[in-house]
Amino acid sequence: MSDEMEEIISEFITEAEESLDKVDPLFVELEIKGFDKDMLNEIFRSMHTIKGAAGFLGLQSIVDVAHGAENILKKVREGEIALTKQMMDATLKGVDMLRLLLKHIKQKDGKEEDISQVLKEFEMVLKQTEGNIVEHIPAQEDNLTAPQNLPEAEVEKHVVDKKETFQTLRVDMNKIDKVLDLTGEVVLVRNRLLNIMSYLEKNAFDDPHIESLFETVSFLDRITSDMHLSVIRMRMQPIQKVFNKFPRLVRDLSSSLGKDITLSISGEDTEVDKSVIEHIGDPLVHIIRNAIDHGIELPEERRKKGKSEKGTISISAFQKGNQIVIEVKDDGRGLDASLIKKKAIEKKLIKEDEAQRMSDDTAINLIFLPGFSTAEVATEISGRGVGMDVVRTNIAKLNGSVEVRTKKDIGTTFVLNIPLTLAIIQALMVRAGECYFAIPLSSVEETFKVLRKDIDSVMEQSVLNIRGRLYPVFELSNVLGNGNGKVSELDYRYAVLISLGEKKFCITVDELLGLEEIFIKAIKGVDTDLPFILGATITGDGKVVLIIDMAGITRNVFSTVGA
């Protein structure tokens, strides 16, 4: 196959997948609202476009499935078929088959799917409604809909002419990633120049060229920051790309379990880095599946509790500082801390004496342990003991955190805090012993100098009283495994108050070196175990510094203190 044809097929797959991602939530909304001319036209156009492009490329299976779905949609639009569940199920199976066919082409695995069953269901829908005329409530005229006397080919042209046009260019993500890597290198060079300028200002202030050099480096600093921001924006995508999958997920799972659940979504226009988009999907799917299976009660149980028979799940996203916050909330039965402790003991994940000392908040977080499940029987939906572990693992890879809030019979909320971008971040540079580290600034609440006598001990745990509240204190060297297990004997320490969700604790270090914008470099080819390390960077003075994974440390220290 020629390179040109490869590129054409690749572009077809990308556009077809985007069309199908857009179609799924439209189908669910259509099923809820009833006949809507605008949505039907949008879905019909997507199927028609996929069919036409697949026909040009000779992809007959895709043509047949898209054509069958298009026929049903055409008859719905013309009032010959009603919007029944059977019609929706058949058409959505067609959408799933199109996704599967595209996947095989994308992976070049040579596999062929049997589409006969899908086509048979299409025919059954068409036959059952032959000769019927369905009266729909008149819909408002759509500005994007062509006059009815235009032929079908001209309808598409009419629609396109009315749409607002933008100048766009598809660029391979590998090329953008390369630009981002180069930008990161420029940031490191910029930091080095700023460090050198700082030295020259102190030691060569009488040189007439220093002021000119300082102005040049300051200008480079501004340009580098603008360039970095521009590249980051190139990688930003609306989180809607992930959220669009969930209406269909909630529809199918709630129906299979005999539950009536409404899904509400807000903040879908919030933009995040593409790498975040790629990693956030699975955790959200597991949270939603568990909410449907374990959280939301059956209609009869909800009625006995005085609740509405229809459960609700809401997903929201918003930006908070340099982080994205995603909340998934349900109005189900909530999490039972005592049941979670009992199950954890049965599975030998904790000991009975540990459970007795454990607070309810800590017990709730046991759901993230590998192998944990409260389900009596494993099902295809949940209960295999991997879901919540996947959530924590994937969010940790993003240097994010997961927080759980729950009340019995009120519901449960999962709060995910994720950095906007993963490549270049602001960090607090510190020294612990002879080693230097970078702490992501997103997890730092404040810093202060404390005397050794200010650090007390409660139940063999070092604590620090900050404005009347006690916080656990840990030596950074000891947490990372290169200390002696004791708090430093120095007369004073520097404490960093770490805050991730509702978890707060202090890390003590020997020196605070200031803030720096750093470029995260992955550590590859090193045959060693580096727990709690995100990567490495090069500082302005040329040092190689390890970047600390504060989410991993948070999990470790709270499992230690049991609070």
Beta bridge partners of 419: 323
Helix (H) or strand (E) holding 6: helix 3-33
The secondary structure element, H or E, covering residue 470 is strand 469-475
SS3 535: strand
Give me 278's structure tokens: 């790629």
For position 201, what pLDDT does the model report? 76
Give the pLDDT score at 422.
Answer: 65
| 3-class state of residue 197 by DSSP | helix
Instruction: Encode 362-373: b = buried (16+ Cβ within 10 Å), e = exposed.
Output: bbbbbbbbeebb
Which contiguous run of DSSP H or E holds residue 384?
none
Q: Name which of 180, 426, 403, 188 is nearest 321 in CA terms.
A: 426
pLDDT of residue 186: 87
Query: How far apart are alpha carbons 70 and 296 in whole angstroms?
Result: 35
Long-range contact set of residues 238-241: C-beta below 8 Å, sequence gap at least 24: 238/268, 238/269, 238/270, 238/271, 239/267, 239/268, 239/269, 239/270, 239/271, 239/272, 239/277, 239/280, 239/317, 239/324, 239/326, 240/268, 240/269, 241/21, 241/277
| Stated pTM of the model | 0.68
- Show the low-confidence residues of the chain (pLDDT under 50): 136-165, 377, 383-386, 485, 527-528, 562-563
Residue 501: its pLDDT value, please? 67
Match 């036209």 to its residue by tokens.
41
Structure confidence at residue 161 (pLDDT) = 44
DSSP state of 331: -
How many helices (DSSP H) and strands (DSSP E) are in the chain? 18, 18
Distance, in Å, from the CA atom of 288 to the CA atom of 265, rounded to the nearest integer, reads: 13
Distance CA 284, CA 418 (A): 13
**Residue-range domains of the chain with CATH:** 3-162 (1.20.120.160), 173-236 (1.10.287), 239-419 (3.30.565.10), 424-561 (2.40.50.180)
